[in-house]
Amino acid sequence: MTKLIAISGALRKASHTTALLRTLAKTAPDGVEIEVANVVDVPVYNQDLDVEPNPASVETLRAQVNAADGIIIASPEYNYAMPGSTKNIIDWLSRPYGKAALVGKPVLIITTSPGSTGGVRAQSQIRGTLAAIGAHPLGGAEVVIAGIDKKFVDGDFADETNLKFIQSSLDRLLAEIKIRS
């Protein structure tokens, strides 16, 4: 079984980004388990808090990422950038220095927007930050989901074209995991 942890940088309860991850978890291919992490309680990064014992939400998230074969990070875009919440999660997962949970992990990035750009500027920033900390953001065509608010039916993400493309990206993530294992 290949284990993926999916992390949403959108914290609101009715988030489309998080709902998309829930759909991906429900429709994971055979042999793949996708768990959506709960990051709502992760505090703002503060080096004074980054000592044993870490905040419980951070301990859990780091353990989940450490145990995962690969990661999905999904995020909206705020003011032409990744939201502080997305960067905050990456900051926590970039420490402790030398044994950070994200280092060496293949990561599929998904960005979303109700607008037409699909959060492409946030995508570029997330990619740059992940590369800087030694994670392995998946190369190739980027998953940017435009008009996300209009793509749900009964709570499930239902745009067939987007879903097909995400599934092909997931296949590339799984291939990357295989190569690196």
Q: Identify which range of 51-59, 76-84, 127-135, 162-170 contacts ligand FMN by CB under 6 A.
A: 76-84
- Consecutive H or E run containing 136: strand 136-137
Cβ distance to ligand FMN smaller for residue 89 or 174: 89
DSSP string, the chain: -EEEEEEES--STT-HHHHHHHHHHHTPPTTEEEEE---TTPPPP-TTTSSSSPPHHHHHHHHHHHH-SEEEEEE--BTTB--HHHHHHHHHHT-STTS-TTTT-EEEEEEE-SSSSTTHHHHHHHHHHHHHHT-EE--SS-EEE-SGGGSEETTEE--HHHHHHHHHHHHHHHHHHHHH-
Among 46, 79, 161, 181, binds ligand FMN (CB under 6 A): 79
Min CB(26)–ligand FMN separation in Å: 17
Min CB(23)–ligand FMN separation in Å: 13
Among 5, 6, 7, 17, binds ligand FMN (CB under 6 A): 17
Contact set for ligand FMN, span 122-181 (CB under 6 A): none
Q: Identify which range of 11-19, 50-58, 64-72, 85-93 contacts ligand FMN by CB under 6 A.
A: 11-19
Q: Identify which range of 39-47, 71-79, 150-158, 161-169 contacts ligand FMN by CB under 6 A.
A: 71-79
Instruction: Name the site residues for ligand FMN (rule: CB under 6 A).
Output: 10, 12, 15-17, 76-80, 112-115, 117, 119
